[in-house]
Amino acid sequence: MADSAKSTTVTVDFTVKGLSDLESANTALDAIEKSAEGAGGGLEKASTELDKASESSKETSESFVELAAKSELVGQMQEAIGSVTDALAECVDAAAEFETVIAKVATIADTTETSIDEISDSILELSNETGVAATSLSDSVYSAISASVDTADAVDFVAQANALAVGGFTDAETAVDVLTTAINAYGLEASDAATISDYLITTQSLGKTTVDELANSMGRVIPLVSAYNVDMANLSSSYAILTKNGIATNEATTYLTAILNELGDSGSTVSAILQEQTGMSFSELSEAGYSLGDVMGILGDSVDNDATAFSNLWSQQTAGVGALSLLNSGTAEYNSTLSEMTSSTGVADAAYETMADTAEYAQQKLTTSAENLKTAIS
């Protein structure tokens, strides 16, 4: 009985203890579930934050791409603005340079004949047509006017000089110089520049010389030949024959100067022979239409065309050498050359057209037109 009671007590205690343990387990399980739920919420929150961070990173990346594109555009705009600024500066410089040379022309131009604005416009137009810089043409216009070409004719005169320069392988300034020298020495008009140009181009074609060489030498002898009534065609024929015979252009000038000085000297041997044979002086023979070749023929006949005797007629060796070269070519050849010279109308313009019809000349015109546009813009 006592044992039965004891057993019952044990069972009850065990049962109570078991229930207590079960409650503790349930409590622990509830805690675990709550903890799990909390952990799940944290994971979900972390996932949401990660998504937000990813979206923010994407937006940031897109912002950097957009910023880079805008930066590149700004750089391009700055470069374009810089180019425009440089171009405008070039325009200002070009205009300033042209304004200066036009002002120089204005100091001697007769603006009652042609206004300075008309001259300026005509020079720019000629520059575009020829491919020669407007500043260079302006200097040529200045030289022409200063050499007594009328202001109203100056630009047209320079246009003719430029045609001579292109066909004769020289520059406009040099061409203006030789043309004005001839015009002033012979008392010609500006309109005669075309004829003189034809003579010079023909001399270049028939002899071994260029207009550039002629222009740099003829000025020394032109005043002398004009004083003795030797016309430009005669002088040009002499250069053609002498240079064809192998005498350099500058030497030919020296020889011709010596020849003319002795022929024009009334006290010289050759002058006395001419007076004896024809009853006229050298100047009178020239005025009567005798060519320099004809004169050499008269002198040669006086010594039976003996070369030594002919050379001894001249007091200066340079005169004798040059005169003998003309004599050896013969009167017929001289006069044939003179005939070609006087029938050479239009050859200078033809030479110009030939030289102008080249790719190089076309490129030069384009380049010059672009430069003139800068002047116009400013």
H and E: helices and strands count for the chain: 18, 0
Q: Where does residue 171 fall: left (phi above 0), alpha (psi -120 to 50 degrees), or beta otherwise?
A: beta
- Which helix H or strand E contains 36, and what residues bound it? helix 2-106
Question: Measured at the alpha carbon of residue 113, what is the angle toward residues 109 and 119, in degrees to the nearest 5?
Answer: 60
Contact between 281 and 274 under an 8 Å Cβ cutoff? The reply is yes
Confidence (pTM):
0.75
- Residue bearing tokens 């020298």: 181
Residue type, 214: L
- How does 301-330 read in b/e, with b if 16+ C-beta sit within 10 Å? ebbeeeeeebbebbebebbbbbbbbbbebb
> Tens-of-pLDDT digits for all 378 residues of the chain?
444 444 434 343 433 444 344 455 455 445 544 554 544 455 455 456 545 545 555 555 555 556 556 666 666 666 666 665 655 566 666 678 888 999 999 999 999 999 999 999 999 999 999 999 999 999 999 999 999 999 999 999 999 999 999 999 999 999 999 999 999 999 999 999 999 999 999 999 999 999 999 999 999 999 999 999 999 999 999 999 999 999 999 999 999 999 999 999 999 999 999 999 999 999 999 999 999 999 999 999 999 999 999 999 999 999 999 999 999 999 999 999 999 999 999 999 999 999 999 999 889 888 888 888 777 665
Contact between 206 and 240 under an 8 Å Cβ cutoff? The reply is yes
Q: What is the spatial distance between Cα 298 and Cα 292, in angstroms, rounded to a whole number?
A: 10
Contact between 161 and 140 under an 8 Å Cβ cutoff? The reply is yes
Q: What is the spatial distance between Cα 268 and Cα 313, in angstroms, rounded to a whole number?
A: 9
